[in-house]
């Protein structure tokens, strides 16, 4: 059995090696600890080891965990599918939302976000048109980016992707990165500085994601171990 500290050391070595191999600065890649199905005590332990960002898929579990931990210095990322009737509490409780894939959800997040807060959002893209997962098609991205970028209270930061199991990660992540670059060209100059985030890559394929330009990787098993 390995400890969380040992797993983190191995994970950091993978990240450092991949950054070095691809001439990328280590500070350009943010590690998101995916803490779904993990007890609050493990999140606290990870935070003591220097992890500041945590991703949650399931809202009720996440809210209980956020409340139990009560650490305002941590950054919480919602990375699950979004139901319309949950947008208010998501906007109130999280710092980032990675899984916006339709205008209605973005509009509700904008309207329900606290007035003293700016919510960072990512557009989830389904580049391989997998019917089993969320995300907007590549062809519809530009129009949705244009619409979301006009909403108050939201800061549109970039793209998020979860690849189909049948997609070669090297090809898939490079496709997402190319789309990210193309979409930046369509943004008005005042919005371009905010378009800086690519959330892609997990335990099994983080190296390919970093090689393609990921700025956030979402890692659960390699950090916390197998989920109970």
The predicted-structure confidence for 13-40, as pLDDT tens digits, reads as follows 999 999 999 999 999 999 999 999 999 9
Split at pLDDT 50, 70, 90, the class of 214 is very high
Predicted local distance difference test score (pLDDT) of residue 228? 66
Largest CA distance in the chain: 51
Task: Tell how far CA 118 is from the center of its chain.
Answer: 16
Instruction: Express as a percent the part of the chain with pLDDT over 70.
Output: 100
Average pLDDT of the residues in 137-146: 94
Q: What is the mean pLDDT of residues 77-99?
A: 97
Q: With 80 as the cut, is the pLDDT of residue 172 above it?
A: yes
Count of domains observed in the chain = 1
Domain with residue 168: its CATH number is 3.20.20.10
Higher pLDDT, 192 or 4: 4
Helix residue spans in the chain (DSSP H): 4-21, 40-48, 59-69, 87-93, 103-112, 141-148, 169-186, 206-212, 221-224
Decide if pLDDT at 190 tops 90. Answer: no
Q: Which of 81, 83, 91 has its CA nearest to residue 112?
A: 91
Spatial CB neighbours of 99, under 8 Å, sequence gap ≥ 6: 78, 79, 80, 81, 82, 122, 124, 134, 160
pLDDT at 132: 86
| Confidence bin at 133 (pLDDT 50/70/90) | confident
Any idea which of 70-84, 92-106, 124-138 has the lowest mean pLDDT? 124-138
pTM value? Answer: 0.96
Domain extent for 106: 4-224
R_g (Cα) of the chain, nearest Å: 17
């Amino acid at each position: 059995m390995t400890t969380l500290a040992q797993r983190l050391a191995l994970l950091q070595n993978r990240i450092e090696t991949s950054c070095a191999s691809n001439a990328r600065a280590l500070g350009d890649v943010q590690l998101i600890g995916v803490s779904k199905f993990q007890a609050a005590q493990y999140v606290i332990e990870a935070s003591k080891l220097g992890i500041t960002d945590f991703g949650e898929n399931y809202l009720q579990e996440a809210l209980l965990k956020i409340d139990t931990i009560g650490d305002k210095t941590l950054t919480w990322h919602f990375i699950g599918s979004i139901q319309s009737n949950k947008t208010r509490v998501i906007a109130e409780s999280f710092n980032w939302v990675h899984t916006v894939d339709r205008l209605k959800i973005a509009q509700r997040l904008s309207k329900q976000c606290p007035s003293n807060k700016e919510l960072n959002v990512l557009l989830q893209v389904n580049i391989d048109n997998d019917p089993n997962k969320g995300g907007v098609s590549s062809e519809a991205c530009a129009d949705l980016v244009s619409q979301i970028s006009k909403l108050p209270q939201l800061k549109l930061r970039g793209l998020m992707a979860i690849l189909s199991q049948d997609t070669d990660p090297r090809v898939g992540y490079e496709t997402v990165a190319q789309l990210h670059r193309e979409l930046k060209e369509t943004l008005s100059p005042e919005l371009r500085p905010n378009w800086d985030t690519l959330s892609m890559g997990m335990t099994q394929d983080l190296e390919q994601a970093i090689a393609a330009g990921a700025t956030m990787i979402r890692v659960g098993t390699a950090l916390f171990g197998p989920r109970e």
